[in-house]
Amino acid sequence: MKNILIIGSSGHAKVVIDIIEKESKYQILGLLSRDQAAGEKVFDYEILGKQEELGTLLKEHTVNGIFVAVGDNFMRSKVSNFLAENHPQLEIISTIHPSAIIGRDVNIGKGTVIMAGAVINPSSSIGDFCIINTNASLDHDCIMGDFSSLAPGVITGGDCQIGEYSAIGIGATLLHGIQIGKETVIGANSLVNKNIPPSNIAYGIPAKVIRKREAGEKYL
């Protein structure tokens, strides 16, 4: 069983830990956190330090891989860049809850988590470092760009495209063939019946663009 570290210690990290435990493919050595001090624990796992201390930890422990359990899409990309620049030898793992349903001809990128009850239908493609949250449904032939996310209960029709860094809010629905531009946020419970351009915030029934959005702007 491969030894891994997890970067992150929030509620999102707790869900990731639970999925990794249920998969039984990896042994979690500990967590890295910017918010909690070394020695504190999340569940039974110790905070070993901050991500900047990863080099030292790799000398002290046998580490085969790492998972970035950071819920914010933009912040997750910053951690990914740190790893690529400083520790490119580390394997970036993905994790899938045993109750998730994955169809035929589905491609899942590295660093992605697929949570309990999610459904990924055939011929869909999920990029690197994506989040498919609890009971979300991605229908056939959909494409999710790197660092994008579906919140709990999201439903998409087939042939949808979700751009890099974009976040689809809790319970939102995308009709068949909808395209969401990169770095866009769709509000909770929205019904998206037309394409939404990049770098926007949109919500409502039907969803309408409310304002422009800056890259990296907080949304959680």
**Are 36 and 107 part of one and the same domain?**
no
pLDDT at 220 over 90: no
**Are 29 and 132 part of one and the same domain?**
no
Q: How many structural domains comprise the chain?
A: 2
pLDDT of residue 118: 98
Distance of alpha carbon 173 from alpha carbon 108, whole angstroms: 22
Instruction: Flag whether 214 is in a domain.
Output: no
**Are 22 and 10 part of one and the same domain?**
yes
Q: Which domain holds residue 173?
A: 95-208
**Are 88 and 144 part of one and the same domain?**
no
The tokens describing 219, both together, are: 């949304």
Q: What pTM did the predictor assign?
A: 0.96
Domain stops at, among 92, 114, 133? 92
Q: What is the enclosing helix (H) or strand (E) of 167? A: strand 167-168
Instruction: Flag whether 104 is in a domain.
Output: yes
Q: What would the pLDDT profile of 94-130 be if each residue is shown by its tens digit?
A: 999 999 999 999 999 999 999 999 999 999 999 999 9
pLDDT of residue 48: 97
CATH number for the domain harbouring residue 85:
3.40.50.20
Nearest to 74 by CA among 145, 166, 154: 166
**Are 127 and 71 part of one and the same domain?**
no
**Are 8 and 63 part of one and the same domain?**
yes
**Are 74 and 111 part of one and the same domain?**
no
Domain stops at, among 63, 92, 121? 92
Distance of alpha carbon 124 from alpha carbon 98, whole angstroms: 19
Instruction: Flag whether 100 is in a domain.
Output: yes
pLDDT of residue 145: 98
DSSP state letter for 75: H
Q: What would the pLDDT profile of 187-204 be if each residue is shown by its tens digit?
A: 999 999 999 999 999 999
**Are 35 and 121 part of one and the same domain?**
no
pLDDT tier at 215 (50, 70, 90 boundaries)? Answer: confident
DSSP state letter for 72: S
**Are 125 and 160 part of one and the same domain?**
yes
pLDDT tier at 219 (50, 70, 90 boundaries)? Answer: confident
Q: What would the pLDDT profile of 129-170 be if each residue is shown by its tens digit?
A: 999 999 999 999 999 999 999 999 999 999 999 999 999 999
**Are 153 and 187 part of one and the same domain?**
yes
Q: What would the pLDDT profile of 39-66 be if each residue is shown by its tens digit?
A: 999 999 999 999 999 999 999 999 999 9
Report in angstroms the alpha-carbon separations of 91 from 12, 110, 175, 215, 216. Answer: 21, 9, 36, 27, 26
**Are 99 and 194 part of one and the same domain?**
yes
